Amino acid sequence: MNVSKVLIVGGVAGGASTAARLRRLNEDVEIILFEKGEYISFANCGLPYYIGGEIKNKSDLTLQTPKGFGRRFKVDVRTFNEVISINKEEKTVEVINHLTSEKYVESYDALLLSPGAEPFRPGIEGINLDKVFTLRNIPDTYKIKDYITENSPKSATIIGGGFIGVEMAENLVTAGVKVDLIEMQNQVMPPFDYDMACIIQNEMRLHGINLMLETALEKIEENGSSLKVYTSKGVIETDMVILAIGVKAESKIAVDAGLSVNQRGGIIVNDNMFTSDEHILAVGDAIEVLDYNTKEKAMVPLAGPANKQGRIAADNIAGIKSKYRGTQGSSILKVFNLTAASTGINEKTAKRLGINYEKSFTVSSSHTSYYPGSEEMYVKLIFHKDTGKVLGAEIAGGEGVDKRCDVIASVIHFNGTVDDLTKLELCYAPPYSSAKDPVNMAGYVAENILNGVSKIFHHHEVSDLKRDGSIHLIDTRTRGEYAAGHIEGFINIPVDNLRQHLSELDKNKKVYIVCQVGLRGHVACRILQGHGFDSYNLSGGYALYNEIYNKNK
């Protein structure tokens, strides 16, 4: 593009990244950045943690001030200035200055749209009451924080169990507030499958959060100094409500200008970030992207992709041919003492797309068990049955979840297989990992499944196993572990004693094995198979089963 003047609409992740990259590529181009609010380049992902007190200072939320950003990158930053319309034919925009109410027009050679997404507000009674809050920007954050400081609420109700809902639940509890969380689905955190979401839910309940799943919000009413929240399962009295139902693209100016959008209002762009107009680009939460894993169209409101898209848009404005490969959807969440991360596709998506997939569950220590402080992590791996290609992963546990999910995300990005997971040489020292890293272990287990060395069954199949003596059900843990809790119908034969009991088993009957995490179960299955038995190991063991069916109540 031959440009001398670029206008950027929106000054957070995508817009600020575009402006900074473009200036580094071209010292002469005129750049004007419009932001309808007071702040640019703020840490929107950190907003819940200021409310909870983890982030102490307001100033830490602003990564760049408008003045500082403008000075460093020679950008004309205009806060409180909102672009309200686009004239594609004239290549101009109309802007309103909210401080003066003045309207004016600016021309452009290239226009970059990064308007973001706004919280979704359902059209129900009471949704706009004063004590009903949303969280999108710094003013929203200050409003919630000030309300808590000034009113010392004892209770809060959160509507929605996605990232914002779960993060706000944790931070409100940290601030001393009792929390009820209402979610229409049967689980929190939709990017995760139900079995892994159960681990997140257990951690939330452990810290006193009342989860009301499969529950619909019906209306909200004032009740003196508090609120009444009416749901499909009853009424809650609460001091405040946080709406975290989801977001929708803030794309009205694009729609009004006649740019191509999808059914959800997402601005359609090509892999160079250009819209249907050759002089207008778009990035961030308001655009439709290509799902890197499924090659389907999607909308993924994450900061990481927005920053990458901003860089690519700037490259193309500056004449560098740069393409966006799609959004993989890697994400991570802190829930009190738990970390949960995911990348690639989940099992729900694999089923919907008809992919011939398999899954495995492994439970590994974050570092060697003999070094103090190791914590368990649950790893769910989704992989293709025919090719072994790694399709997705979900991990929940303590320290080290982030780096394991990052490694698997990299393998997925480069179309790697479970065999690649086994071959990765990852950093090892006792304080940090094990000689067989949890990533390697996930690969070993998946590889064993694919090549027939190990036969497995899953937690959701346990209830269908017959208890009529037609099959053998064996728990290979120690006597003490078995006594502390076991699955109904499974008899206890510790793995180290299994060979002495082989004569008691019928080779014409299938044998289903459970141990604590699957490791001793695998050993037991190999012993049994070596003696002519058809045996199956419970993937993830009793530990995962217990998280889903016993703790998650």
Would you please indicate which residues are annotated as catalytic (active-site) residues? 45
- The answer to whether residues 442 and 416 touch, using CB atoms and an 8 Å cutoff, is no
Distance separating alpha carbons of residues 188 and 19, to the nearest angstrom: 36
Q: Which two tokens stand for residue 1?
A: 């593009």
Beta-carbon neighbour count of residue 385 at 10 Å? 12
Helices (H), 152-188: 163-174
Beta-carbon neighbour count of residue 429 at 10 Å? 11
Give residue for tokens 């250009």.
274
Beta-carbon neighbour count of residue 376 at 10 Å? 15
> φ, ψ for residue 190 (rounded to 5)?
-55, -30
Amino acid identity, residue 498? L
- The answer to whether residues 170 and 334 touch, using CB atoms and an 8 Å cutoff, is yes
> φ, ψ for residue 348 (rounded to 5)?
-60, -45
| 278-302 per-residue burial string, b: 16 or more CB within 10 A, e: under 16 | eebbbbbbbbbbbbbbbeeebbbbb
Report CA-CA distances (Å) from 129 to 119, 138, 242.
15, 20, 11
| 54-73 per-residue burial string, b: 16 or more CB within 10 A, e: under 16 | ebeeeeebbbbbbeebbeeb
| Nearest by Cα to 379 from 517, 259, 260 | 517
All residues at 6 or more sequence positions from 201 whose CB lies less than 8 Å from its CB, including other chains: 187, 188, 211, 213, 552
SS3 181: strand
| Nearest by Cα to 495 from 467, 445, 537 | 537
Could you give the strand order of the β-sheet that contains 535-538, starting from the edge strand earlier in sequence?
A: 456-457, 535-538, 511-514, 472-475, 491-492
